[in-house]
A and B are shown apart, each in its own frame.
Chain A
C-alpha cells in the first residue's frame, strides 16, 4: 500500500464505498436476471394463452359457420345465417392476429398458413355454395352436395390441422416453461456466487483497513513503550518514532516525537544542572570551583572556549577578574580583568543580562589546536547573579549557534553557581580565619611563655646582681662577717644542744615512765631494807619476815618487769626465736590447775578448766610462748578478780571469728581457742584497746591496787602474733572479762620466721609511734650535720611544706609521717575525713592533702567533695590514696575532686615524684 496516502477517515469511507458498490453491482445483476425471467414468464403466460385463444377462436368461428350453414340449410330460416355471417367476418381477423403473434415462430406460422387456405376453400366451396343453393332452393344441388360429402372432408382436414397446430403450440409452451425453470436455477446459483464474492471482498477490505490503521498505531505504541520501558533508570529520550504512513497516526507520532525532543532538551538541561550542581559539593577553593564549572559547562554547551571572571572589589571599584578558563590560547587571549561597564564583560555585569552575539567577525579571536586555528562565530556572555549582585561573569564561545536549551541551562545554573561561589568564598574565609585564629592563639601562648621565660631570666639577672652586690659587701665587711660566722657557729651550737636536749627528751620521758615503774617496787625494797638494816631488835621475827616477803615480792616484781621489758624489746627487735614443737593440748588443763589452784584456793575463787571433745590432742606451735601467754592471762584474771570464779575453755575456734581475726589463714586450718573468763572488775569499752599497749592499764591507780608491770598484755599480744594468732577481749565493767586466745594448730617453721621478722619490724614501728604519741616532743631522726649536707633545691621544694594526711591505718600513718618528715615536710594527721575537714577549716594553708579513701566516720570521696564544694578549696591539690586501682574507683576519685591519685602499696620514690609535681608552682596558675 506504499505510495497511497490516505488518512484513516478516507480509508474507512473508501472501504465502505467499495463494499457498497459491490453490493449494488450484484443487486443490479440479480435484478437484470430477474426481469429477464419475468419477460419469459410474461411471454409464456400472455403469448401462449393468446395463441391458444386465437386458435380456439378460429376453430369456433369455423364451427359457428358450419353450424349456421347447416341450420339454414335444414330450416331455411335466415336466422341461422346470423352466426354464420359473424363468424365469416371474424375468422380472418383472428387468423391474422394469430399469424402476427406467431411471427417469432416460423414453423407454427407455416402450420397456420396451411390452415388458412383450407378454411377459405371450405368457405367458398362448401359453405357459400350451400347457402347460395338454399337461397335458390336448389334442393338437388344440396342433396348432391351433401351426398358428395365434400364439405365434411374439408372440415375434417381442417380439424386435423388445427389439432396438430395446437399440439405443436403446447409442446412449445412446455418447452418454454422448462427453459424458465432452468433460468431460475441459474439465477439462484449466480446469487449465491455473488454473496460469497461480496462477503470475501468485504472481509478482505476490512482486514486490510484494520491492518493499515492498527499497524501504525502499534508502531507508535511500541516506540513509546521502548522509550519508557528501558531497563536503565534513565529514560532514553533520544529514540524517535518512525512512521511510514501519512495518516493521523503519523501526526500522533510526530506530536510524540516533538514531546520527546522537548523532554530530551529539558532532561539535558536538568542533567546539566544536576551534574554541575553536584560538582560543587566538597569544593573549598574558588579557583578549583570556577575551573571545574567552566570545564564542565563549556563542552556541555558544545562550545570551544570559556572564561569565568570573578567579582573582586578594591575599594569602591569593582572589577571582574579572570579566575578560570577553558581552552585558553594563552594568558593574553582573554582580558585579565574588566571594570563595570567595561567591554562586554563589564556591560553584562552592569546590565545584569545575557549577551548573545552571532556572527562574530572572523578576526575576533581564534581557537587553536595543534593543526590550526579557527574562529568561533558565536559568543555568549552571562552574568552570575546572587541576591541582585553580579558575583561572576561567564564568557563562552562556540562554532555553532547557541540553542535555546543552552540558554535555559545557563539561566538555571546562574543561581546555583552563584550561591556556590558565595558558599565557597564564605567557607574559605571561615577556614582562613580559623587557621589564623589558631596560629594567633599559638603565637600568643608562645609569646606569653616567652615573656614568662624573660621575666624569669630577669629575675635571675636581678638575683645575680644581688649576689654580686652581696659579694662586694661581703668583701667589705670581711671582719664583720667573721664575727657573724662566729656568732652563727655559736648559734648553731646552741641549736644543736637544743636539738640534743629535744632528742634526749624522748629517752628521758620514756625513762621517766620506766623509772616510775621501776621506782615503785624499788622504793618499797629500799625503805624496807633500810628498815631491816636499822633493825634494833625492836622488830620481831614475824615483822622481819613480812618485810622480807614484801622485798622479795617487790624484787621479783622488778625482775618480772625487767624480764618483760627485755621480752618486749626483744620482740620489737625481732630477736625472739620461735621454736615450733608438738604441744600436747591435753596437758594444758593440768598445767593450769597445778599452777593456779593454789592461787584460787588462796583467794577463795572457783577455778575450772573445760576442754571440748573435738580438740586435737597435739598442735604444732611454740609451747613455751603459748604457756607464757595463758599464764599471763590467767594471772591477770586472778589478779583482778576478788570473788566469783575464773573459767578456762579450750575449744575449736568458730569459723567466722577466725576469718575475721586471721584473714590470711588457710580455711582448713585448725585454730585452737583458749578463753579465760573471770568475774572481776572488767574493762570499760573505750579502754579495751589500749590495755594491750605498753605501760597502760585501765587507770593509773590500777597498778598500785593490783600490782603488775602493765606490760603483760602487750607481751601476750606480741607473742600471740608471733604464733600467728590473735587475742580478743570482751568485757563489762564490774561484771568480768573474757580474753580469748586464738592459736593456729600448725605453725610453719622457717618460712614463717621470716614473715615474723617483718611483722616484728612493723610492730616496732607501731610501738614506736605509740610511744611517740605518748611522748610530748617528736625528735628529728637525722643529725643536724646530715640535714646541712643535703641542702638542695629539692629540699627547698619540700622543706616547710604543710601536708595533711587523712588516714586511719596507723602503720601507714607512721610510715608516711616518718618518710615525709625526713624531707622536712610538716605533716598533720587526721584519722578520718571529718577530722581532716575540721583541720582544714581551722588552718587553710596546707600545700597538699593525702586522702585515704576507706576511712571510718567519713570516707575520702565525701571528704573531697566537701573540701571542693563546701570549703571552696578548688586549687588545693588532693592526692587520693587508693587500694589497687580499679577503674570505678579511679573515676569516683576524679569525680569527687581529687587532683591525682596514687595506689597502695605506696612506692616512696613515686610518692616523692608526685609530690614534686603537685608542690611546684604551675605556669598558668595565677
Chain B
C-alpha cells in the first residue's frame, strides 16, 4: 500500500495503539487460511478488521484471539465469520444505468456470436445474475447464452440458485428494472408468496452456479463478458492485480468486462490492453491482439 505521506502518518497514529490488534487480525486470517484454506490475507485491512471486530463483539468475545480460538474449534463460528466477510450488498439491476448501457451498447455487439459465455464473478446471492438473464431473455439472446455465476461463499450460492428474493426489496428492484430499460412487466418473471419472489425456472436453465475463489482458483473457460462489480474494492492492490490477470486470461479478444462504479481497470498493469468502452458505466473491452 502506497499512501502519500500525510495519510500514512494519520494511519500510523490511528493504528499505533492497536498494534496488538493488528497482529491478532493477521493471526486470525493466517489461521483461517491454514485451517480452512480461506484466504483473506490480501483483503483491504480496514474493512476486514472492522468485520472481525464486529463478529468479535457479536460473539461477546473480549479479544480477536478468543475469536480465533472459537473459529478453530467451533465450525459454526467460522460460518458466521465467513458470512460477515463476504457480505456484499447487491440488488437486482444495481446501478440501472449500467444495465441500460449494457443493453443498448454491448448487447448489439454480442448478437452475432454463435454462443455467449458470461462469467459473473462474485455473484453473491445472485440478484445481478437473474437481472442479466432477464435482460438477455428480453433481447432474445438467453437461448444461446450461458451465465456462469461464481462466488466463494457456498451459502450465498445456494441462495442464488433458488432465485428467491425477499418481497421487501422487490419494489426497489421493480424500479431498477424499469430504469434499466426493461421491456416487459417485471411481474412476468416471478411468482410471489408472502415472503419471497421466486424467479421463474426458465431463467435458471441457462445459469450455472459454482463455487470459485478469485484469490486462489484459476480460470475455467474463455468468456465473452465478465462481470465483477464491487467485488475487488475489498481486495488490496496486489490481489486486485492478480485477479485482473485472471480476468484478462479468461476474456476472449474483444470481450467485455464490467466493473463497479468506483472501480477502474486502467490503473492495472493490464489496463492498456483494454479500451474504454463506456467510461461512466465502467465497461471495458479487451483489445484484439495485433
Residues of A within 8 A of B (CB): 282, 284-287, 310-315, 425-426, 428-429, 431-432, 434-439, 442-443, 445-447, 449, 792-794, 796-797, 877, 885, 887, 890, 894, 899-903, 909-914, 916-918, 920-924
B206 to chain A, nearest CB (A): 22
Contact A917 B44 (CB under 8 A): no
* Interface residue ranges of B183-237 to A (CB < 8 Å): 183-188, 190-195, 197, 230, 233-234, 237
Residues of A within 8 A of B7 (CB): 429, 432
Q: Bound state CA distance, A901 and B175, in angstroms?
A: 11
B79 to chain A, nearest CB (A): 15
Contact A900 B4 (CB under 8 A): no
Contact A428 B47 (CB under 8 A): no
Among B44, B230, B262: residue with most chain A CB under 10 A: B262
Q: Bound state CA distance, A312 and B8, in angstroms?
A: 8
Residues of A within 8 A of B170 (CB): 917, 920, 922
Chain A, Cβ-Cβ closest to B197: A917
Contact B271 A314 (CB under 8 A): no
A775 to chain B, nearest CB (A): 34
Contact B169 A923 (CB under 8 A): yes
- Chain B interface size band reads 35 or more
* Interface residue ranges of B232-290 to A (CB < 8 Å): 233-234, 237, 260, 262, 264, 266-267, 271-272
Chain B, Cβ-Cβ closest to A439: B47
B122 to chain A, nearest CB (A): 13
Could you list some 24 contacts between A and B, CB below 8 A?
A282-B271, A285-B2, A285-B267, A310-B5, A311-B5, A314-B8, A314-B12, A425-B4, A429-B3, A429-B7, A431-B264, A436-B46, A442-B89, A797-B194, A885-B183, A885-B184, A899-B175, A913-B187, A913-B192, A913-B197, A914-B187, A917-B174, A918-B171, A924-B172
16 other A-B residue contacts (CB within 8 Å) besides A910-B188, A918-B171 = A282-B272, A285-B2, A310-B5, A311-B5, A428-B2, A442-B87, A449-B89, A794-B194, A797-B194, A890-B183, A900-B178, A901-B185, A903-B184, A916-B167, A916-B192, A922-B172
Residues of A within 8 A of B262 (CB): 434-435, 437-438
Contact (A913, B191) CB under 8 Å given A428-B3, A924-B172: yes
Residues of B within 8 A of A (CB): 1-9, 12, 44, 46-47, 50-51, 54, 87-89, 166-172, 174-175, 178, 183-188, 190-195, 197, 230, 233-234, 237, 260, 262, 264, 266-267, 271-272
Contact B87 A900 (CB under 8 A): no
A250 to chain B, nearest CB (A): 51
Among A310, A314, A445, A920: residue with most chain B CB under 10 A: A920
Q: Bound state CA distance, A210 and B89, in angstroms?
A: 90
Report which of B171, B178, B266 forms a contact with A917, defined as CB distance below 8 A. Answer: B171
Chain B, Cβ-Cβ closest to A917: B170
Contact B169 A793 (CB under 8 A): no
Chain A, Cβ-Cβ closest to B268: A284
Report which of A442, A793, A794, A901 forms a contact with B230, defined as CB distance below 8 A. Answer: A442
Q: Bound state CA distance, A285 and B267, in angstroms?
A: 8
Residues of B within 8 A of A923 (CB): 166, 168-169
Residues of B within 8 A of A887 (CB): 183
Contact A313 B194 (CB under 8 A): no
Residues of A within 8 A of B187 (CB): 900, 902, 910-911, 913-914, 917
Contact (A900, B186) CB under 8 Å given A313-B9, A923-B168: yes
A420 to chain B, nearest CB (A): 13
A493 to chain B, nearest CB (A): 31
Pick the 4 closest A-B CB pairs, nearest first. A284-B267, A913-B192, A914-B187, A920-B167
A41 to chain B, nearest CB (A): 102
**How many pairs of residues, A versus B, come closer than 8 Å at their CB atoms?**
136
Contact A312 B267 (CB under 8 A): no
Chain A, Cβ-Cβ closest to B187: A914
Residues of A within 8 A of B195 (CB): 793
Contact B230 A438 (CB under 8 A): yes
Q: Bound state CA distance, A594 and B44, in angstroms?
A: 101
A319 to chain B, nearest CB (A): 9
Contact (A438, B167) CB under 8 Å given A885-B183, A901-B185, A924-B172: no
Among B4, B12, B172: residue with most chain A CB under 10 A: B4
Among A425, A439, A902: residue with most chain B CB under 10 A: A439
Report which of A435, A793, A909 forms a contact with B233, defined as CB distance below 8 A. Answer: A435
A445 to chain B, nearest CB (A): 5
Contact B5 A313 (CB under 8 A): yes
Residues of A within 8 A of B183 (CB): 885, 887, 890
Report which of A443, A796, A900 forms a contact with B50, defined as CB distance below 8 A. Answer: A443
Report which of B12, B89, B188 forms a contact with A445, defined as CB distance below 8 A. Answer: B89
Chain B, Cβ-Cβ closest to A891: B178
Residues of B within 8 A of A913 (CB): 187, 190-192, 197
B266 to chain A, nearest CB (A): 6
Q: Bound state CA distance, A428 and B194, in angstroms?
A: 48
Q: Bound state CA distance, A914 and B168, in angstroms?
A: 12
Residues of B within 8 A of A436 (CB): 44, 46
Contact (A438, B194) CB under 8 Å given A429-B3, A885-B183: no
Contact (A894, B172) CB under 8 Å given A910-B187, A913-B190, A916-B193: no
Residues of A within 8 A of B191 (CB): 909-910, 913
Q: Bound state CA distance, A431 and B236, in angstroms?
A: 12
Q: Bound state CA distance, A310 and B6, in angstroms?
A: 13
Among B46, B187, B230, B233: residue with most chain A CB under 10 A: B187
A308 to chain B, nearest CB (A): 13
Contact B233 A439 (CB under 8 A): yes
Contact B4 A922 (CB under 8 A): no
Chain B, Cβ-Cβ closest to A442: B89
Chain B, Cβ-Cβ closest to A916: B192
